Chains A and B, each alone.
Chain A
Amino acid sequence: MLDSAPSIYLRIENLWKNFGDFTALREISLDVIEGEFLCFLGPSGCGKTTLLRAIAGLDLQTTGKVEQAGQDVSNFPPAERDFGIVFQSYALFPNLTIEKNISYGLENAKRSKSEIKARVAELLELVGLPDQGKKYPAQLSGGQQQRIALARAIATKPGLLLLDEPLSALDAKVRIFLRHEVKELQRKLGITTVMVTHDQEEALSMADRIVVMNHGTIEQVGTPLEIYRDPASLFVADFIGAMNQMVAEATESQITIGNIKLHCDNMGLTGRVVATIRPEDVLPVEVAGENTLEATIDSMEFLGSFYRAELSNSEMGKAEISADFSINAVRRLGLEVGASLLVQLPADRLKTFPEAS
């Protein structure tokens, strides 16, 4: 693993999808590494499902190339590609038992009955439902049905597993439990997996890499940490996690918000910009230093493990800054609504983006 470059299992090149005049996907290029768990993340309607269906061949792209395991499959029908798929709706065959659902793809001349039976039992075991084989889908809970759908999809050991919002129809508790289960299963099987989701938490907790999409284009590809720490665009910064956004005037290495000047590497960006910083990166400090400023606490909200405070400073104009303070810090510094404090906006955590048009 260490000495060889990661091998690319799925390659998408300059893929477009048009529905009449509407462009649902624009210039998509993407490599999926063998064995990785990749998430397409983006708001509803941004084209995630469309891209997934193009990969599967269920709805062909208008133009562009899809290469799977070194073979150009761009125009192949689904049956000639190699993947298993799971949908939000489970799509279990209602009139077939769980066993028959799972064995549906296994039945062919090459496999004996006993072979199939053994494989079905193995799969039921794998998804943790060993005794449910004789039941019908409607007799199982949503979470159980989705696990059966997963078992059916991997039964034939496909090279690629596609999941379209597999957990979105489930209630919160089951969803969090299944996140873990699915991820565990994927790691065990080492199957290259692409999952579509609009839930950032789901993507951050499950994916090896995340593809953030917006309006039919890719905004950023990276590990969850990269996406969180170093958003490549204002959209990504805004879409993932909480983010302060302040209109600012930028020069080479400095930004001005109201009358306040802060150091910050603008990466060559100048003029009107949007400066961002995550609430947890706003630090309460006791002595003034670089990028510190005096602020007043306008409101505070206890969010379980920390407080989120809204801060203002007359010099900054109307801009408000959200900051997350640990319970400890709040107690130590005696923070409360109306109190003033010194906060630091560390230069390396301040990021600027061109103003959205």
Chain B
Amino acid sequence: MQGPKVKAKLGRDDWAQRSFMLVIGLYLIIALALPLYAMLSKAFTTYHFDLSQYEVQVSDENGAFGDTLTLSNHNMLATPSVVEDLSTNTNGRLGVTQFFPDFSFRSPVNYRFRGVTPDAVYLIGSERNKGPDWVELDSNTFRRIVLRPNSERGLANFKTYFSTPALFQSVQNSLLIAVIVTVITVSLAFWFAYALARSKMRYKGVFRMIAMMPILVPSLLPGIALLYLFSPRQGMLKALMFDHDINGPIGIVIGSVFFTFPHAMIIISTALSISDARLFEASESLKASRWRTFWTVTIPGARYGLFSAAFVVFNLVITDFGLPKVIGGNFNMLAVDIFKQVIGQQNFEMGAVVSMVLLVPALLAFGIDRRMQKKQVALLTARSVVFEPKPNKRMDWFFFAYSSLVAIFIAGIIAVCQFAALIKQWPYNLSLSLKNYDFSRMDGGGWGSYTNSLLLAIFTAIIGTVVVFLGAYMVEKTRGFEKGRALFQALAMLPMAIPGMVLGIAYIFFFNNPANPLNFIYGTMIILVVSTVTHFYTVSHLTAVTALKQMDTEFESVSQSLKQPFYKLFWRVTVPVSLPAILSISIYLFVNAMTTVSAVVFLYSTDTALASVAVLNMNDAGDIAPAAAMGMMIFYTNAGARILHALLSKGILARSNAWRQTG
């Protein structure tokens, strides 16, 4: 017979750890779950004027009032109706005189006005009235009555969205572009990664470095380079376009291949590097042809990596905002639609709807990618022998040529931007100058936006690393508390599924609400840091969790048995042992904070203009050369940060050589 359940008595450490987890969990709820909820409810809210809610009596010139009619009746009496479309948004206002064709503010006619239900609201001037008490007004006052819209929950916004061809077309466009780019990028990246992993070609280090360069610049930078090269008016190589416009799908595809390439390359490289060398040897000993080996060993071994890369690229493209904004022309994409609806038309509800539409493919791609990654990890642990390629002159030359072409494409784009930044005035004055770096003469925030970006990157790197690592530590090492930990883990995975644009608009809804006590962070550096840390939370979290999982789980047990507090173990062992991972997290956050556009484009204010947004704005204003120059500033900064990171990592590894077995 089982006795009563034993309920754990919580020690000091348990309380401390759970509090930490609670605090970081709360952070994720406030910075992610609640804003998303605000956006969700916005997408399902519609506003319309309900004319049947208001009744009017009109007097003759002698003051004798006639029948009571609702505004709705009045609206119908006229043919065609005075107002056909009664839907509006939060800020909608509707005057009433238009329903009375004979209205004149000088006429002696009097009006009586009331709401039908107690909560039918209307304004007289700026005074708020409601309810079923008749109000008698002369003509001159009557014209100052303004109706407020009613809000309603429902799918009406979605109906509008899907019945507006201009909006709905974007879904098709975005999917089409994402699929095309996915196919091109994954194919290109596969052979590139293959050359790095399976050939003996020279200069692999250089190739790898060049392939990583796009990560260091905003996704819209290739757009600027492409404009320089191919713009119909003054592109250097416009002849190559044969009358096609680079603005539009062609530009988006080329630019997207550029900025997604390193992401696909890393994932596929990992997959190829863990494929089992023993299989190749077996295949070789069976005298299977290279081609056969490729199809029966290489591809199956790397398949999860290929799928994973495909979904990551798809996701990056479909959620990217900067590039189609710069080079999309009239070709509408979902992410840009969100921006247009919110910033251009102030139609927040429709912005929220487009966000929801964008969430669907993003969530799908995210979900599938997670599954693939898990299977990949399972392969990783089961296999171990590292493949050592053998020289093969012909193949090595072929791969060298191929990799060179890819590298020229990538380095070329960056070089064009650098060139553009240094040319005095394309195409008239080709002499070199630094005047494009004099940002104070342009719109976009000047050098201030650069320092803001630098600050944002530093804050994000420091605060983000601390928050992420602490959170990962607590979720991995807290004793018991399974449900809390599972919830935290789910929250930590969520940001990866949320496109930046969606996060940004969700922040507007949540933080720009005067009723929100956190409203004060709106328009400050704080909200930029919060949004950026949140946006890039998941990858950082996974890096931390992976590092923590590699540590012996019994360290905690031993420390507890020796009655030492958890923070002692954390400081003396966990942090030092995880230092390489901690550094990776901070450089990841730094680089992304420097380049990100999507979430922050909704959230910056004049005091907190950012370099990446400045590139966008200067380009919009036609200052393409300074935009390129600012893009290059971001590039230099990130490259510098990467070099610093490499030096630091090397130093740490050297110092810990004594105790790291692998050192």
Contact = CB atoms under 8 A, between A and B. Distances in A.
Contacts of A63: 2-6
Nearest to A61: B6
B374 to A, nearest CB: 21
B451 interface: no
Contacts of B1: 14
B566 to A, nearest CB: 9
A152 B558 CA distance: 9
A16 interface: yes
A83 B563 CA distance: 10
A79 B8 contact: no
Nearest to B659: A136
B524 interface: no
A105 B6 CA distance: 28
A64 interface: yes
Interface string B581-602: 0000000000000000000000
Nearest to B565: A79
Interface string B620-663: 00000000000000000000000000000000000010111100
A218 to B, nearest CB: 16
B567 to A, nearest CB: 13
A79 B563 contact: yes
Contacts of B552: 87, 89, 91
Interface residues of B, number: 36
Contacts of A79: 11-13, 560-561, 563-564
B562 interface: yes
A85 interface: yes
Interface in B1-52: 1-14
A185 interface: no
A79 B559 CA distance: 8
A58 interface: yes
A75 B6 CA distance: 6
Nearest to B11: A77
B2 A60 contact: no
Given A63-B3, A94-B659, A137-B659, A77 B14 contact: yes
B67 interface: no
Chain B interface secondary structure, helix, strand, loop or mixed? loop
A156 interface: yes
A344 interface: no
A96 interface: yes
Interface stretch (B329-337, B422-430, B570-578): B570-578
Given A104-B562, A105-B564, A95 B656 contact: yes
A62 interface: yes
Contact of B561 (A65, A83, A136): A83
B6 A78 contact: no
Nearest to A89: B552
Contacts of B577: 94-95
A93 B554 CA distance: 10
A62 B6 contact: yes
Nearest to A86: B558
Nearest to B661: A138
A93 B555 contact: yes
A173 to B, nearest CB: 23
A85 B2 contact: no
Contacts of B14: 77
Interface string B271-299: 00000000000000000000000000000
Contacts of A155: 562
B7 to A, nearest CB: 6
Contacts of A93: 555, 572-573
Contacts of B479: 58, 77
Contact of A85 (B558, B572, B656): B558
Interface in A99-135: 104-105, 107
B7 A80 contact: no
B98 interface: no
A93 B573 CA distance: 7
Nearest to B554: A91
Contact of B480 (A60, A84, A94, A136): A60
Contacts of A62: 2, 5-6
A80 B13 CA distance: 11
Interface in B40-87: none
Given A62-B2, A94-B659, A87 B554 contact: yes
Contact of B9 (A76, A84, A156): A76
Contact of A75 (B8, B573, B656): B8
A77 B560 contact: yes
Contacts of B558: 85, 87, 91, 152-153
Given A63-B2, A77-B14, A156 B554 contact: no
B172 interface: no
Given A62-B2, A87-B557, A95-B656, 15 more contacts: A14-B2, A74-B6, A75-B7, A75-B9, A77-B11, A77-B13, A77-B14, A78-B561, A84-B561, A89-B552, A104-B562, A104-B564, A104-B572, A105-B561, A152-B562
24 contacts: A14-B2, A56-B561, A60-B6, A62-B5, A63-B5, A75-B7, A75-B9, A77-B9, A77-B11, A77-B560, A79-B564, A87-B552, A87-B557, A91-B552, A91-B557, A93-B573, A95-B572, A95-B573, A96-B573, A105-B561, A138-B661, A152-B558, A152-B562, A153-B561
